[in-house]
Structure 1
Amino acid sequence: MGTIPAEELGIVAVHEHIGYGMPGSELDSKWWKTPEERYAETVPKLRQFHEYGGGTFVDATGICNGRDVDYYKSLSKKTGVHIVACTGFVGGDTALPHFARASVEYLAKVFVHEITVGIGDTGAKAGVIKVGVSRGGRMTELDKRIYRAAARAAAATGVPILTHLAIDPQPAIEIFNQEGLPLDRVLFGHADDGLNAPNTPSEWIMSQGGRIGFDTFGYETELPDPPFWARPRKERLDHFMDLVEKGHLNQLLASADANCSPLGWPGVKGHTVNYIFEDLIPDLRRAGLDEASIKALFIDNPADFLSIHA
């Protein structure tokens, strides 16, 4: 709906999805939903988020994965929640051939256009750039092209970068350094999930200046039907608190990576963005995190990260 002053962002869910699916999911007859069904599924979750005190929902759904900016605008008007859209790709393996075959220069131009001019004819501009590591656990050559294009666009426009996975970070950090992008403009995401946390050098990334996203809170092995990336609730919380106790609070951000209305797959039942308020913040308080630290985690750190740095 327009540029948001950082001080008006409020409590931020920094890595979420209005509706995420793989390219082509809109053609899947089993899981296809009408716009009305998606709307009915999504609005109550965002209204509850707003009632709990949530201010801003960062949609980390990239190009080709179900991003629908006109839909986001209608949801924002309906619920009062600021929605930040992204440009970029969840990973090279989600980029359709038109983009997968494109040069770094072309991709950077696309990203810059969506940030400075707008996304399609919506009149809305992207506020973050999404990049990611493709399936397999190592950055592909396409991933590296996308990361380099994102680094150039971020350096040119001042918007930050969100990553899908923080595994294999050395090539990413080399690219960001080569392109002159300060690493505090990068949030290395999904550092906490059960599948990738053992292979994510979170403290090394932070030592290089990067930020770390514990943004799969709520995907727990205790769920009735947990996803393959689930992790025991206490294990994730203990991991997070260990990093806080080591003095890394200012480089940490937290979110739930929830999917309001999944596209082309059933999603994970029993998990929404409101896990942040219903479970995570109470867990953090019980673990000893004070109110100033909770404010830093959900208000101050995201505001600094999302601010456009000229």
Structure 2
Amino acid sequence: MGAQTAGNTTGGTVNTVLGPVPARELGVVAVHEALLSVLPGAEYAFDVTIDRAEIFEILAGRLRDFRDHGGGTVVDATGMFHGRDVRLYEALSRTTGVHIVASTGQGPEEILGGYFLTPQTNPPTPWPAEKFADLFTREVTEGMVVPRVERRGAAGLVATAATREGMTATDESLFRGAARAALATDVPVSIRCGSDAVRDLEVVLDERLPAGRVAVGGLDREDAVAAGAPLEVARRGAYVVLDHVGTEDGRHIGDAERADLAARLVDAGFGDRILLSSDATGVAKGHAGNDVPYSHVLSDFVPLLKARGLADEDVRRILVDNPRDLLSVR
């Protein structure tokens, strides 16, 4: 639906931490989750422990639960510097049989390291989009960085986010850099919207990235729903990501309302533009994680969708076909 959508891509491949896999093998995909999420700097804190064996066991249990409920692939959308551990993810994928897609990217501005904010200029200026584009592109074409050691497998996604109160100049550089990296590599972009989802989407579309290569998250926030953003994003041909399924916090709509929203989008002809995820955190260090299970969409939310009249083929499209088409590299 809408402009510049991606077509059926069952013949494509997807970059996972264990290498490219045929897109048709992904199965049910959780498109926006976190595996190990570490607040930058927390690894140096006196009261934070990083026990890799313990972390592995916790994450393996969560991934097995997802698999046992019918899940096939988890996308870790945390980007570059928030605990991403490619070697750990490789071991988890081999052990559990769950495909793991890791991401490059950064944002929003408030959680960037100083190096990426003021790179040796007087007066200080944001990094230009071209520098972010090069940084992200290399993580796809040369492999994701394991700091001071090596590069590993290719990133399968460029993830970035805008400042909640509104896109800053640095956020715009991030968005444009992410779009340019996607154009150079054919991996998709996942953006978490700020105060104006449609404007944020238009920034990446201005870089001539097809709308069908863009997933817009944060669209189950109360403010985004009130502004009509989910329908407007779908009309432009991008994917509408309801990415806090299972969260009931007053800032996001609840699961009953999410199911209503998904049903309205399907009724409007946009069933091929919907993606679901929980923004769940497997293990959090230095901050409070979101403890919703990766399996929540399958175990609790799918019955709500069916109660609202969605057929099995609608559910399959949302959980299998749509993320497959988004993540495929052709």
Report if TM-score (shorter chain) is over 0.5.
yes
- Mapped pair 1:295 → 2:295: no
Whether 1:23 and 2:44 are equivalent positions in the alignment is: no
Report the counterpart of residue 77 of structure 1 in structure 2.
Answer: 94
Paired residue for 1:132, among 145, 149, 161?
A: 161
Q: 2:277 aligns with which of 245, 255, 278?
A: 255
Question: Structure 2: how far apart are the matches of 1:193 and 1:32?
Answer: 33
Contact kept, 8 Å, 1:139 with 1:171, in 2: the verdict is: no
Question: Unmatched 5+ residue regions in structure 2?
Answer: 1-17, 119-126
Q: Could you list the runs of 5+ residues in structure 1 that have no partner in the other structure? A: 221-226
Secondary structure, counterpart of 2:37 in structure 1: coil
Q: Report the counterpart of residue 224 of structure 1 in structure 2.
A: none
Equivalenced residue count is 301
Matches within 5 A, 1:175-254: 175-194=203-222, 196-199=224-227, 201-220=229-248, 227=249, 229-254=251-276
Structure 2 Cα separation of the partners of residues 177 and 107 of structure 1:
17
Matched residue type, 1:287: R
Cα distance per residue 1:273-305 (max 9 Å; x no partner): 110221011221222211111110111111111
- What's the Cα RMSD here? 1.9
CA distance in 1, matches of 2:91, 2:45: 25
Match of 2:144 in 1: 119
Instruction: Tell me, in whole angstroms, the C-alpha distance in 1 between the residues paired with 2:151 and 2:227.
Output: 39
CA–CA distance in structure 2, aligned partners of residues 213 and 183 of structure 1? 13
RCO comparison, higher one (Cα < 8 Å, 6+): 2
> Is residue 215–residue 257 contact of structure 1 (8 Å, CA) maintained in 2?
yes
**Residue 21 of structure 2: aligned partner:** 4
**Higher strand content, 1 or 2:** 2
Q: Which moved more, 1:56-65 or 1:193-202?
A: 193-202
Q: Is the 8 A contact 1:191 1:200 kept in 2?
A: no
- Residue 223 of structure 1: aligned partner: none
Alpha-carbon distance in 2 for matches of 1:20, 1:260: 8
Q: State TM-score, norm by structure 1.
A: 0.91
1:185 Cα deviation after fit: 0.6
**Residue in 1 that maps onto 2:68:** 51
1:230 positional shift: 4.4
1:164 to 161, 186, 192: 192
The answer to whether the Cα contact below 8 Å between 2:201 and 2:216 also exists between their aligned partners in 1 is: no
Within 5 Å, which residues of 2 pair with 1:31-46?
31-46=48-63
Taking structure 2 as the reference length, the TM-score comes to: 0.86
Distance 1:28 1:230, change over 3 A: farther
Q: Distance in 1 between matches of 2:30 and 2:44?
A: 29
Using the TM superposition, give the Cα deviation of residue 166 of structure 1 relative to its aligned residue in structure 2, in angstroms. Answer: 5.9
CA distance in 1, matches of 2:288, 2:263: 32
- Sort the Cα spacing of 1:281 and 1:93 in 2 relative to 1 into closer, same or farther, 3 A: same
CA drift at 1:242: 1.6
